[in-house]
A and B are shown apart, each in its own frame.
Chain A
Amino acid sequence: MTADISDLDRKLINCLQDDLPLTSSPFSPIASQLGISEEEVIERTRRLRDDGLLTRFGPFFDAEALGGAFCLCAMAVPADRFEEVLTKVNAFSEVAHNYERNHRLNMWFVLATETKSDIARTTAAIERETGLQVLLFPKEQEFFIGFRVNA
């Protein structure tokens, strides 16, 4: 854990990973829980977001429930073409996350699309633009979804 986060900010990060209530003042329960004002909750949350400790604040949508689809994909990108291919891949708005990994398959990204057929269309377009094969790893079964990091 990094040392430069105050205990209060740690507690706030943990609170913000829970589901906030659908009420006019969604920050009010967190303020009560932490014993600070709503304004301070908001100010600290804004700072954590601006500093990059929180990536976003808002609703998390399930692309599949929207009729769309997610698919994990991987590519083996030659080292000397990595930045060029990265620029091309990231330019697709369907690419939701992308990670570099230490393997021959060194670029792993998740596509989130509005329809199931958009997955094949997008991967075909990426293959066309990069000249590299895209391997598809759609999820067949999910064993755990409670993703949470203890700050």
Chain B
Amino acid sequence: MTLNSKDRAIVEATQAGLPLVPNPYEVVADTLGLDEAELLERLADLKAQGVIRRIGAAPNHYRLGMTANGMTVWDVDDRVVDLLGERVGALPFVTHCYRRPRALPDWPYNLFAMVHGSTNEEVAEKRKEIATLLGEACRAGDILFSTRILKKTGMRLRRKEN
């Protein structure tokens, strides 16, 4: 989809965040030359279209003590990967789960499940539970721990020239 110019201006004005004031939408509306009611209506539309997933805050899970972040990766039989992916994604400690293409010969894994915990040992224990669930349909697996956040800014629209 393509955004009209007003919606695009709204995305540009809010993508770095909302002002932390009692009436943030009034402040944003003022800077855009819109009524607050019109801004709220357009934001509701963008949400209904799925352009906005939610409005809220993103926690820094490292700073919250969830310092162990393991990307578990699995080489799962293509015939059952979607069925098993649903079950892995439903595990309470799995925060993201995706099927992705393999990159042979370097990378044989097609199922990615992100596991967060307080320690690497805790994450390794949870990884065993995933291995048990996958059973014989899984030919190999690995776990990649993150050692550093190198960047975390989220999506940015570039300002259009002219």
Enumerate chain A interface residues (CB-CB to B < 8 A): 1-2, 5, 13, 16-20, 22-27, 38-39, 42, 45-46, 48-49, 51-63, 65-68, 72, 74, 86, 90, 93, 95-103, 105, 107-109, 112, 114, 135-145, 147-149, 151
Contact pick for B89, options A72, A103, A144, CB 8 Å: A144
Q: Tell me if A101 and B103 are in contact (CB < 8 A).
A: no
**Chain B 103-145 near chain A by CB (<8 Å), digits 1 or 0:** 1001100001000101000000000000000000000001011
Alpha-carbon distance between A16 and B44 when the two chains are bound, in angstroms: 18
Contact residues in B for A20 (Cβ distance below 8 Å):
54-56
Contact residues in B for A17 (Cβ distance below 8 Å):
56-59
Q: Tell me if A53 and B60 are in contact (CB < 8 A).
A: yes
Alpha-carbon distance between A107 and B147 when the two chains are bound, in angstroms: 10
Q: Tell me if B22 and A59 are in contact (CB < 8 A).
A: no
Contact residues in A for B9 (Cβ distance below 8 Å):
none
Q: Tell me if B55 and A151 are in contact (CB < 8 A).
A: no
A67-B2, A101-B144 known; A144+B14 contact, CB < 8 A: no
Contact residues in B for A52 (Cβ distance below 8 Å):
60, 63
Separation in Å of the A115 CB from the closest CB of chain B?
A: 10
**B4 interface hit (Cβ, 8 Å):** no
Alpha-carbon distance between A100 and B150 when the two chains are bound, in angstroms: 7
Q: Tell me if B85 and A16 are in contact (CB < 8 A).
A: no
Contact residues in B for A42 (Cβ distance below 8 Å):
20-22
Separation in Å of the A119 CB from the closest CB of chain B?
A: 13
Q: Tell me if A101 and B97 are in contact (CB < 8 A).
A: no
Contact residues in B for A61 (Cβ distance below 8 Å):
11, 15, 51-53, 154-155
